[in-house]
Amino acid sequence: MFVGPFFLGLVVFIYVPILWSLYLSFFDAYNTVTPTKFVGLGNYADMLGDPSFRDSLLTFVVFAAFIVPTTFVLSLLVAVLVARTRVMQAFFRSVFFLPTACSYVVAALIWKMSIFSGVRFGLVNTVLGWFGQDPIPFLSVTHPPWYWLVIVSARLWLQVGFYMILFLAGLQRISPTLYEAAAIDGASQWQSFRYITLPQLRATSTAVLLLLLVNAFQAFDEFYNILNTFGTYPPYARPPLVYLYYVALGSGQDFGHGTAGAVILALLIAIVALVQGRITGIGRGGD
Amino acid sequence: MTHTPRSSRTVLETPLARRRLFALGGGLAAASALAACGGNTGRETAATSGGAAGGKPALSQWYHQYGEAGTQQAVEKFAAAYPDAKVTVSWKPGDYDQSTAASLLTDAGPDVFEYGNGPTIDMIKAGQVADLTEVVASAKDDFNKAILDRMTYQGKVYAVPQVIDMQLLVYRKSMLEKAGVKPPTTIDELVAAAKKLTDSKVKGLFLGNDGGLGLGGPMLWAAGADYLTPDNTFGFGTPAAAAALGKLRELFTSNALLLGAPKDWFDASALTQGLCAIQWTGLWTLPDIQKALGDDFGVLPWPAMSGGKQSVPVGAYGSCVSTKSKNVDAAKKFVQWLWVDQTDKQLEWATAYGFHIPARQSLVSKADKLKTGPAADAAKLVQDFGHAQTPLLWTPKCATAFGDMMSRIVKDGADPAAQIAVVKPVVEAELKRVTS
């Protein structure tokens, strides 16, 4: 009764679209959501045979392998530092959390047009200029791939604060008596971190890892806004969702291939999450 | 933005560009999907929808949000002046192409709507847009041929061009004179000029922050090739085309291109702020340039190589009728009234609120703004060298493959001929799909 409205919303906006997507993925569905031409697994075969889509999947497996641990370590580090701070802790907590409140789109535009602008008066290029360096067109060249610097720094700035808060909450739940006992036993700082903090944060860490992982594969906003120029997106650093966006939601309304790609991506996320669960022991019961 | 049928650059970038900037604010897929679900379709409520409002049919007409002041009032005025139906104008901010394409799948879409370069081939094939051949019949020969052909499939016209936009090269006369450079008419001259005009403060040429990828089409035309041949087969499998695309790589690595400008090529600030001497931009920037530089500028078409022709890409929003409309005939009549019969309104729309070229030859000569100076030169370029940005059968999938190819050739230094060979099967499969 109480969950009725919520459940209804869930059905209408989540389950029906998911099932409909599945249905569409087996049809030839150009510019229609009520297709008639059944193609079986044809769309799946096309998508898996599409080198651009495979490239983007591969790029994002590599991207996830890099960004997940990086964000994890950075947010944990910031959380531990903030938790240890005795002066102005609330201030530092807010400062690090604040970027979370910033829109991805706005941040992406600032990164693109101001900080990493390619002209000599862009922020980074101004600093480089002090050291006699020529301006670098960060987003216009692929050798070296400077665009990753722009994207990764924007993403870290936007996300670290949020995961820091999760870790902080976890840290505050660790009983101080554990640290006191360890201190009496003569444990070093590193030993307390390694044998008390880390194990006690296991539940939080697992959740953070899973969120990071899903997030990495669902990357869209900052990539799209930093690298997209007038409706075209370069073939490098192209997230699967951006590629699918161009397949199914641009002026190309190819829902059959688009939904097939989305199902493949969902399966990939599920598989990686399961593997990760195996490794980190999520749902293994116990504490 | 123009994403056009995802051609890399739609001419319509003008308003589009501005619009898209706004769109970025919320322009994610989700946002546009939501917009598509938005309640107000501009149609009358159920009681009157599709029926008669005071004896007259009710029609909804959609426009994207134009950037120029007065445009919304103008189209509302035009709609109100139509005697035979009650036309409600919807002014759509945000990602117009996407939300309109999505709304055509539903019953909540428009009766009459504009679409960049006319409807896509898949809209036509899915039967989403009505045949307007009869509607334009009385003025068929008066419309710009390149544009009307772009909106025609198998002899049937599916959109009525509203107004023409174009892209072109603009140069600072004083900078060229100082460096002793003549306005380039061949690609080699352009490359040489760009290098000669570059110094520590100024770059010779600005083709866009993508480094000139968007000039793939004009480069094909420069080499006498095209996206597709006139009978719709793959159009650029020639050594000349490969050589032409390689020229863009040469430019990219010459250190003479401006890259990473704060405002991209759709805006003239790179030129007016003195960051570059020659810039690729759109006709819509001429008023800004004139304001900033007075008469210290001239316009040029994209140059040619041997065997090819100079060119300027042209595009136009076309007015279409949705077949889901409950009043297809009334909608057609309205389109005919506004975009075929009412030439004074068409002239006002083209010239009173910004800087565009009327879609009909007979009106170009009546446009005072296009009679003198660089504007007159530009209008002439459209007639002499105008080229629809991309062919109708150039589907989004072709455009993506082409864009990827351009990026690999220009930015990564990949072999043009080998990259063209990668694109060819993609294009041929798409041609087979849409013509089957």
B120, closest residue in chain A (CA to CA): A251
Res B34 pLDDT > 70: no
Confidence grade of residue B421 (pLDDT, cut at 50, 70, 90): very high
Res B36 pLDDT > 80: no
> In chain A, which residues have pLDDT < 50?
285-287
- Taking an 8 Å cut-off on Cβ atoms, the answer to whether A33 and B105 are in contact is yes
A99/A107 Cα distance (integer angstroms): 9
CB B178 within 8 A of CB B199: no
Domain contains B203 = yes
Domain contains B194 = yes
Taking contacts as CB-CB distances below 8 angstroms, the residues of chain A near B210 are 140, 229, 232, 234
Domain contains B367 = yes
pLDDT value for B74: 94
pLDDT digits (tens, 9 = 90+) for B283-306: 988 988 999 999 999 999 999 999
Overall average pLDDT of the B48-55 stretch: 53
Which residue is associated with the tokens 């591969």?
A58
Q: Are residues B184 and B138 in the same domain?
A: no
Which of A32-36, B230-234, B274-278, B402-406 comes out lowest in average pLDDT?
A: A32-36
| Distance between B310 CA and the closest CA of chain A, angstroms | 24
More confident residue, A278 or B60: B60
Selected residue of B6, B20, B115, B123 to mutate for chain A interface (largest A Cβ count, 10 A): B6
B117, closest residue in chain A (CA to CA): A251
For chain A, the domains span 64-234
pTM, full prediction: 0.84
Q: Are residues B97 and B238 in the same domain?
A: no
- Taking an 8 Å cut-off on Cβ atoms, the answer to whether A249 and B211 are in contact is no
Q: Are residues B70 and B113 in the same domain?
A: yes
- Taking an 8 Å cut-off on Cβ atoms, the answer to whether B266 and A230 are in contact is yes
pLDDT digits (tens, 9 = 90+) for A181-237: 998 998 888 888 888 998 999 889 988 998 999 899 889 998 999 998 776 788 898
A-B Cβ pairs (cutoff 8 Å, strict) = 156
Choose the final residue of a domain: B348, B364, B388: B388
Overall average pLDDT of the B386-412 stretch: 93
Q: Are residues B213 and B269 in the same domain?
A: yes
Specify the long-range contacts of residues A265-269, CB closer than 8 Å, at least 24 apart.
A265/A57, A265/A217, A265/A240, A265/A241, A268/A57, A268/A61, A268/A217, A269/A213, A269/A214, A269/A217, A269/A218
pLDDT value for A32: 84
Domain contains B139 = yes
Q: State yes or no: ipTM above 0.85.
A: no
B97, closest residue in chain A (CA to CA): A251
Domain contains B414 = no
| Distance between A86 CA and the closest CA of chain B, angstroms | 39
Which residue is associated with the tokens 């669960």?
A277
B262/A285 Cα distance (integer angstroms): 54
Overall average pLDDT of the B332-350 stretch: 94
Specify the CATH number for the domain of residue B295.
3.40.190.10
A154/A112 Cα distance (integer angstroms): 10
Q: Are residues B303 and B333 in the same domain?
A: no
pLDDT value for B284: 87
Domain holding B22, by residue range, is 13-165+314-388
Res B35 pLDDT > 50: no
Domain contains B346 = yes
Q: Are residues B226 and B364 in the same domain?
A: no
Taking contacts as CB-CB distances below 8 angstroms, the residues of chain B near A231 are 1-4, 6, 8, 10
B34, closest residue in chain A (CA to CA): A13
DSSP state of A113: I
pLDDT digits (tens, 9 = 90+) for B156-194: 999 999 999 999 999 999 999 999 999 999 999 999 999
Which among A33, A141, A253 has CB closest to B122?
A: A253
Which among B258, B399, B407 has CB closest to A235?
A: B407
- Taking an 8 Å cut-off on Cβ atoms, the answer to whether A139 and B260 are in contact is yes
pLDDT value for B281: 94
pLDDT value for A283: 54
Choose the final residue of a domain: B280, B313, B346: B313
Choose the final residue of a domain: B288, B313, B338: B313
The domain defined by A64-234 folds into MetI-like fold (1.10.3720)
| Distance between B311 CA and the closest CA of chain A, angstroms | 21
Taking contacts as CB-CB distances below 8 angstroms, the residues of chain B near A32 are 105, 126
Number of domains in chain B: 2
Which residue is associated with the tokens 């999450």?
A273
A103, closest residue in chain B (CA to CA): B25
Overall average pLDDT of the B318-345 stretch: 95
Q: Are residues B136 and B22 in the same domain?
A: yes
In this structure, the dihedral spanned by the alpha carbons of residues B299, B304, B308 and B310, taken in order and rounded to 10 degrees, is 0
Structure tokens at A3: 């969950």
- Taking an 8 Å cut-off on Cβ atoms, the answer to whether B411 and A234 are in contact is yes
Which among B28, B125, B126 has CB closest to A220?
A: B28
Burial of B410 (0-12, 13-18, 19+ CB in 10 A): buried
Q: Are residues B115 and B156 in the same domain?
A: yes
Res B22 pLDDT > 50: no
pLDDT value for A203: 87
| Distance between A193 CA and the closest CA of chain B, angstroms | 41
Domain contains B105 = yes
pLDDT value for A281: 67
B24, closest residue in chain A (CA to CA): A105
